[in-house]
């Protein structure tokens, strides 16, 4: 009896704090999304119930779908970019060579770099007139990059932001996978070698299948992070040019704090939540299948 409740009692303070800090805002957002809450409400606290009108207005707005498409395509690109970069770096670090320990620590630097500071640095690197990126590209003979305006079209702007996000998020993935590699017994690889497996077989037939649960967790985390990217985009383009690099998080923020439509902003946030849940449910389905497979 005592044993059963003890963990809960010990966890209670932290749990209560977390619940208070997440559950209240969550319910408040749900509540606001059904109301017309604008700058007058801000002062008076009075808002009117408008039912689903925030949702219908959002869902019938073509711009919302543009932003959603941006979020999904860009978010998934970042997830895959981060996972692939993280995996490659982890494999590299896993081969014991001189200085791999040092390299492992150096690689963490982008990850501890504050997002805003990183955004400012990258924006400078890709400045059309004074940026180091254009300078280097023209130095190696690509003259069309002389004064190339990276942030003039959503495509090239998103490209720059993509590289920055991958650069900032791959270290975490790499370090997590590296830790995962350590858990796989060497005997498996030795056995495979006797059967004539090459390096590629070892990775695809042993390493990745063994790490499937870890990979799924990392996929879920990356998806959550990359679907709610805000600071880097805000710092680098502020959603420009011509609102071309808007993603849902930025859109929701802008509705709230620029347009002061808190109801609308909450509705967008809720739709973003639904979208994320959809992706996560898919991941979890794969994870469950894994366990079910053992039973079958």
Partner 1 sequence: MKKKAGLLTGLSLSVLMLAACADTTEDAGADEENGNDAEETADEGDADDDASDAAGSDEEAELRVWIMETGSPEEAEDYFERVTERFNEDHPNVSVDVQFIPWLSAHQTLITSIAGGSAPDISELGTTWNPEFAAMGALADMDEIVADWGMEDGWVEALEEVATYDETLYGVPWYAGVRQLVYNTEILEEAGVDVPQTYDDLWEAGEAILANTDAYPYPAVGISQHFVLPKIWHFGGELAVQEQNDDGETVWVSQVNESEAVEAVEFYTDMYKEGFVPDGALNWSVLDTRQAFAQEDLAMTIDLPPGINAMINENPDIEDKIGVAPLPGNESNASFVGGSNLALFEQSQNKELAAEYLRLLVSDEFITEWADFTGFFPGTLEGLEDPMFSEDETLSIFADGLVEGRSYPASPSWGRFEGENLFVAPIQEIMQGSKSAQEAMDDVAERMNNAFSTE
Q: Which is nearer to partner 1, 38 or 216 (CB)?
A: 38
Give the separation between CA 1 and CA 78, rounded to whole angstroms: 48
Smallest distance from partner 1 to CB 53, Å: 14
Q: For residue 207, what are the β-bridge partners?
A: none
Q: What is the DSSP letter of 184?
A: S
Q: Which is nearer to partner 1, 65 or 257 (CB)?
A: 257
Whether omega before 241 lies within 30 degrees of 0, making that bond cis, reads yes
Smallest distance from partner 1 to CB 103, Å: 36
CA distances from 62 to 56, 58, 158 (A): 12, 8, 20
Q: Token pair for residue 16?
A: 């209560």
Q: Which is nearer to partner 1, 155 or 285 (CB)?
A: 155
DSSP H/E element including 46: none
Token pair 């008076």: residue:
44
Q: Are 266 and 33 in contact (CB under 8 A)?
A: yes
Q: Which is nearer to partner 1, 180 or 239 (CB)?
A: 239
Q: Which is nearer to partner 1, 87 or 247 (CB)?
A: 247
- Listed in order, strand segments (DSSP E) in 179-253 are none
Q: Which is nearer to partner 1, 223 or 237 (CB)?
A: 237
Token pair 């400012």: residue:
120
- Cβ neighbours around 143 below 10 Å, total: 9
- What number of residues does the chain have? 296
Give the separation between CA 48 and CA 144, rounded to whole angstroms: 55
Smallest distance from partner 1 to CB 38, Å: 8
Smallest distance from partner 1 to CB 39, Å: 5
Smallest distance from partner 1 to CB 113, Å: 22
Smallest distance from partner 1 to CB 19, Å: 22
Q: What is the DSSP letter of 145?
A: G
**How many Å from the N-terminal Cα to the C-terminal Cα in the chain?**
35
Smallest distance from partner 1 to CB 281, Å: 34
Q: Which is nearer to partner 1, 64 or 279 (CB)?
A: 64
Interface with partner 1 (CB under 8 A): 38-40, 42-44, 127-129, 147, 149, 151-153, 237-238, 240-243, 254, 257-260
């Amino acid at each position: 009896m005592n044993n059963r409740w003890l963990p809960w009692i010990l966890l209670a303070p932290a749990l209560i704090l977390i619940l208070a800090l997440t559950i209240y805002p969550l319910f408040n957002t749900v509540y606001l999304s059904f109301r017309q809450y604008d700058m007058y409400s801000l002062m008076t606290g009075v808002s009117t119930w408008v039912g689903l009108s925030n949702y219908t207005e959002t869902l019938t707005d073509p711009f919302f779908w543009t932003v959603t498409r941006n979020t999904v395509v860009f978010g998934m690109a970042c997830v895959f970019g981060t996972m692939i970069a993280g995996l490659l770096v982890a494999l590299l670090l896993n081969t014991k060579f001189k200085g791999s320990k040092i390299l492992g620590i150096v690689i963490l630097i982008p990850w501890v770099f504050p997002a805003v500071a990183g955004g400012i640095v990258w924006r400078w690197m890709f400045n059309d007139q004074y940026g180091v990126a254009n300078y280097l590209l023209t130095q190696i003979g690509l003259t069309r990059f002389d004064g190339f305006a990276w942030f003039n079209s959503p495509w090239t702007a998103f490209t720059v932001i993509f590289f920055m996000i991958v650069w900032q998020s791959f270290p975490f993935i790499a370090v997590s996978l590296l830790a995962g590699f350590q858990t796989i017994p060497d005997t498996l690889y030795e056995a495979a070698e006797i059967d004539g497996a090459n390096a590629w077989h070892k990775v695809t037939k042993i390493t990745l299948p063994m790490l499937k649960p870890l990979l799924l967790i990392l996929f879920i985390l990356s998806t959550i992070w990359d679907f709610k990217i805000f600071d880097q985009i805000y710092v680098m383009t502020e959603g420009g040019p011509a609102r071309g690099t808007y993603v849902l998080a930025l859109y929701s923020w802008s509705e709230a704090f620029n347009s002061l439509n808190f109801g609308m902003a909450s509705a967008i946030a809720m739709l973003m939540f639904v979208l994320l849940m959809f992706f996560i449910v898919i991941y979890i389905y794969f994870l469950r299948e894994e366990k079910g497979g053992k039973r079958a």
